[in-house]
């Protein structure tokens, strides 16, 4: 029931009924409508902010679960990387060292996995930096696992060939020298006997009479037998596994290029050919194409005491014979 409104007429001092027109009721209704709309909007945003919809609540729970799973995966990948790093350390410093294989470079283990644009695109698509980090770790881990597996295959093959390797690598002195009295000069910086300047001596000199037997120090194949400038009559042998030996200043060669030889075979006779100041054998050991100290490759010939004596003698020799 609508309430009636009255007013006092100042002239007659009587109550008169107020009659409202259409515009009054329009303004009044409009105010209620606008107020209701504003109040509805306020309640809508409050409800939207504090009370997510069922779909939003489901998505939020899904994101929380996904984040927890990614966090667990990230910790697992970190643990796997620690284990793989330990395997790599053992591989390089134990297994490969024992079998005479070169360590695998870090660049080869890691590989080319720094695809920055690719990882950035993942981060933008998922809006989860954690996902991009895990993807990067997984890529690196996959490459390292592949390299490690190949390394173990190589180590297995090396282990199978270890007996052959031990027969091939240089392991005895190239001339009979049980009393160690035939050493003339060792490996390292020495005085050149002709030019009288310090020069790096890439092998060891053994003084011996002309015609003394020269032995192959390991199984292998003769890759050169002939005259070589400065070295005179020379024999070179490829022993495989990265090793090679050179026998220089010979008087007579007893093998030809391409011949297979075994450790202890007589391959030449001591002489005084080439740049030489007296009868002797100049002997070199090469590994991976570089000369190395031959005294480390007499382990079938020398006892620990004899080896210590040879090291001392080699260090005291100041002049070389070629």
Q: Would you give the DSSP letter of residue 173?
A: -
Residue 319 main-chain phi, psi, to 5 deg: -110, 150
Q: Please report where in the chains the tokens 């190395």 appear, as a residue.
A: 292
pLDDT at residue 221 is higher than 70: yes
Q: Which residue has the higher pLDDT, 322 or 234?
A: 234
Q: Which residue has the higher pLDDT, 45 or 95?
A: 45
d(CA 58, CA 37): 30
Strand spans (E) along 152-242: 183-185, 188-191, 198-201, 204-207, 213-215, 220-228, 232-240
For the record, the structure tokens of 195 come out as 């030019």
Q: Would you give the DSSP letter of residue 91?
A: I
- Which residues touch 67 (CB under 8 Å, ≥6 apart)? 128, 130
pLDDT at residue 116 is higher than 60: no
Q: What is the pTM of this model?
A: 0.54
The pLDDT value given to residue 82:
77
d(CA 255, CA 247): 12
Residue pair 284/239 in contact (Cβ under 8 Å)? The answer is: no
pLDDT at residue 122 is higher than 70: no
pLDDT at residue 277 is higher than 90: no
Residue pair 270/283 in contact (Cβ under 8 Å)? The answer is: no
Which of 108-122, 203-217, 275-289 is predicted with the least confidence, judged by mean pLDDT?
Answer: 108-122
The pLDDT value given to residue 77:
77
Question: What are the b/e assignments for 48-81, b being 16+ CB within 10 Å?
Answer: eeeeeeeeeeeeeeeeeeeeeebeeeeeebeeee
pLDDT in tens, 176-210: 887 677 776 778 777 767 767 777 888 999 989 99
Q: 268-271: long-range contacts (C-beta < 8 A, 24 or more apart)?
A: 268/214, 268/233, 268/235, 269/210, 269/211, 269/212, 269/213, 269/214, 270/175, 270/206, 270/208, 270/209, 270/210, 270/211, 270/212, 270/213, 270/214, 271/210, 271/232, 271/233
The pLDDT value given to residue 95:
61
Which of 109-113, 245-249, 261-265 is predicted with the least confidence, judged by mean pLDDT?
Answer: 109-113
pLDDT at residue 234 is higher than 90: yes
Which of 64-73, 92-101, 226-235 is predicted with the least confidence, judged by mean pLDDT?
Answer: 92-101
Interior angle at CA 254, CA 251 and CA 256, nearest 5? 115
Q: Please report where in the chains the tokens 């690598």 appear, as a residue.
A: 169
Residue 129 in 3-state DSSP?
helix
Nearest to 77 by CA among 148, 137, 144: 137
The pLDDT value given to residue 48:
67
d(CA 239, CA 285): 10
């Amino acid at each position: 029931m609508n309430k009636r409104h009255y007013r006092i007429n100042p002239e007659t001092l009587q109550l008169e009924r107020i009659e409202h027109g259409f515009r009054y009721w329009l303004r009044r209704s409009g105010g209620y409508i606008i107020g209701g709309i504003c109040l509805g909007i306020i309640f809508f945003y409050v409800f939207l902010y504090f009370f997510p919809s069922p779909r939003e609540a489901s998505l939020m729970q899904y994101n929380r679960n996904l984040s927890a799973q990614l966090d667990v995966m990230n910790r697992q990948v970190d643990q796997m990387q620690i284990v793989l790093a330990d395997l790599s350390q053992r591989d390089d410093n134990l297994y490969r060292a024992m079998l005479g294989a070169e360590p695998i470079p870090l660049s080869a283990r890691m590989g080319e996995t720094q695809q920055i644009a690719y990882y950035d695109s993942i981060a933008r698509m998922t809006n989860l930096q954690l996902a991009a980090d895990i993807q990067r770790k997984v890529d690196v881990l996959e490459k390292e696992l592949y390299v490690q597996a190949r390394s173990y295959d190589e180590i297995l093959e090396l282990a199978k060939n270890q007996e052959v390797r031990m027969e091939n690598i240089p392991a005895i002195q190239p001339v009979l020298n049980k009393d160690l009295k035939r050493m003339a000069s060792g490996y390292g910086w020495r005085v050149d006997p002709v030019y009288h300047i310090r020069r790096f001596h890439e092998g060891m000199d053994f003084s011996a009479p002309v015609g003394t037997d020269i032995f192959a120090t390991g199984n292998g194949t003769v890759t050169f037998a002939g005259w070589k400038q400065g070295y005179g009559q020379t024999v070179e042998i490829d022993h495989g596994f990265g090793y090679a030996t050179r026998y220089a200043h010979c008087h007579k060669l007893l093998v030809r290029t391409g011949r297979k030889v075994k450790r202890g075979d007589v391959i030449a006779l001591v002489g005084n050919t080439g740049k030489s100041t007296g009868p002797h054998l100049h002997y070199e050991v090469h590994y991976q194409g570089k000369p190395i100290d031959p005294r480390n490759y007499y382990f079938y010939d020398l006892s620990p005491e004899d080896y210590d004596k040879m090291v001392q003698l080699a260090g005291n020799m100041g002049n070389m014979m070629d």
